[in-house]
Amino acid sequence: MAHNMQSKQKKESNRRGFTLIEMLVTIAVLSLLMTVTTMSFRSGEKNELLRLSARRIGDALRQIETFAQSGSKEYTTAASFGIHIETTLPQKMLMFADMNTAGAGGELLIGRWDGTTTDGQGRKDVQIGDARTLDATGTGAIILDAISVAYAVNDAAAVNTSCAKDASGACIRDSSGDYISTVSSLDIAARPPGVRFVISGDADFPAHPAGITVRQVLFDVKDIKSGRHKSVTLSPLSGRVDVEY
């Protein structure tokens, strides 16, 4: 009888516990869940950093627009407020108050970053704050992959030589029929009163686009590790800034 009781207790003990195989399976499942959760968290974190980098461009555009609308006590005679942005490494984006005055060719310089300079005609630019990195991580993992400008040619005098071209050498146009240029640097200035955006680019885009109407500027921000992209779009005619979230 004692033997039967011991056998019964042993069976009940086995039913209450885990076998070695069950424990191993449980550990494997938990490990898999932890791995998936960690990967998902890191992916979300990287995506947030990419959004933050794109938002820095959008915030800078809105800030120069605000300065142009309300003015600034420090730069009461500013002709415009702008940002200068470059895609070449090391990439940078800086904000400036354009203090250029009218004079021999002075008007042509208004709205462009021509360095912190002063000359006999009193033309100068003043950098506002430090040059900002586009990479929210500070590791070089996020870059401004491209700046594209879509524009219309308004008259025959504005000879189009800067558009992106297809294999046959013909200018590439977007769905609206506008020409497209990709530039390595760009100046975007908001000019008071009644804020008007002035767009100037590098050698790949007319420096002073007379006879050209810029309809859209597209900034493509990329995480080079994941290949993910976020875009920032400026519509100069309306002053609208859209940041992809």
Domain ranges of the chain: 39-243
- Residue 179 has which token pair? 């020409």
For residue 241, which of 48, 50, 53, 59 has the smallest C-alpha distance? 59
d(CA 50, CA 137): 9
**From first to last of its 245 residues, what are the pLDDT tens digits of the chain?**
555 555 555 555 555 556 777 777 777 777 776 665 555 445 555 578 888 888 989 999 998 888 888 766 777 777 788 999 988 877 888 998 888 755 444 445 567 787 776 655 556 788 888 777 776 666 668 888 999 999 888 776 666 667 788 888 888 888 888 988 888 889 998 887 666 788 887 655 655 566 788 899 999 999 888 889 999 999 998 889 999 87
For residue 48, which of 137, 122, 113, 129 has the smallest C-alpha distance? 137
Residue 147 has what pLDDT?
A: 92
Peptide bond into 193 cis (omega under 30): yes
d(CA 145, CA 13): 65
Residue 235 has what pLDDT?
A: 92
Q: Look at the pTM and tell me if it is higher than 0.85.
A: no
DSSP state of 91: P
Residue 183 has what pLDDT?
A: 87
d(CA 108, CA 205): 15
Chain centroid to CA 240: 15
The residue with tokens 């100046």 is 187
**pLDDT tens digits, one per residue of 166-175:** 888 888 888 8
Residue 41 has what pLDDT?
A: 42
Find all residues with CB under 8 Å of 69, minimum gap 6, and list them.
190, 192, 195
Residue 217 has what pLDDT?
A: 93
